Amino acid sequence: VMRISLIDLFKQVRNTFLIGVVCFMVSCSVKFDHTSPVSVAEYYFTQYSEGNLEEAYNVIADTCKEIVTFDEYVSHVHQYDAVQNNSTVLFTNFVAQPPILDGLEFRRFEVQRLLINQAAKDTSRQIFYCTLCNENGSWKVVWAENIFPVAETLRENGKVRKAEKTYAKILQYDPY
């Protein structure tokens, strides 16, 4: 029968605990492969869901950053995602969509999420789409959401031609 002293047992438990902490910290560090569209999409939505908007904004396509500053992006998120801000994401799944365009510069994903809304104490399921583009070998999120409300307002106010031009601008950035 092998006997272990209390001190030796403590040392083994301590070492196991330290190894576990290091493994946990390494696994939780924010890493993503910018050459993989799925990795970029996962990173973007993780940062977005956790409120790390600066990190999320950093993976938005440079062409889209020409139409939205970081402050405008944050303002839009706070204005249009009030429900999201009170929710915890339980599950996110990315389903690759078949390409509708020739070439390899765009990828589209159906994003399926299950959320718990803290205020309403209820769950909801979201399904929406995310487009990514390849800019110089790095995949980036296409984000032109701030243009859409402008186009809708123009259309609702009877300014159909201006609305069409605004919708056309969205297609410049997101061909889907």
Cβ atoms of residues 37 and 109 within 8 Å: yes
User: For the residues 63-91, what does the mean pLDDT come to?
Assistant: 76
DSSP letter at 100 equals S
Give the CA dihedral 27, 30, 33, 38, nearest 10 degrees: 90
Residue 75's pLDDT is 83
Percent of the chain with pLDDT over 70: 73
- What is the chain's mean pLDDT, rounded? 76
Unique residue bearing structure tokens 């990795």: 39
Whether residue 37 has pLDDT greater than 80: yes
Res 155: pLDDT: 83
Indicate the pTM of the whole model: 0.67
Tell me the mean pLDDT in the region 142-155. 77
The answer on pLDDT for 15 being more than 70 is: no
Nearest to 46 by CA among 59, 35, 38, 56: 56
HSE value, Cβ hemisphere, 13 Å, CA-based, for 49: 18
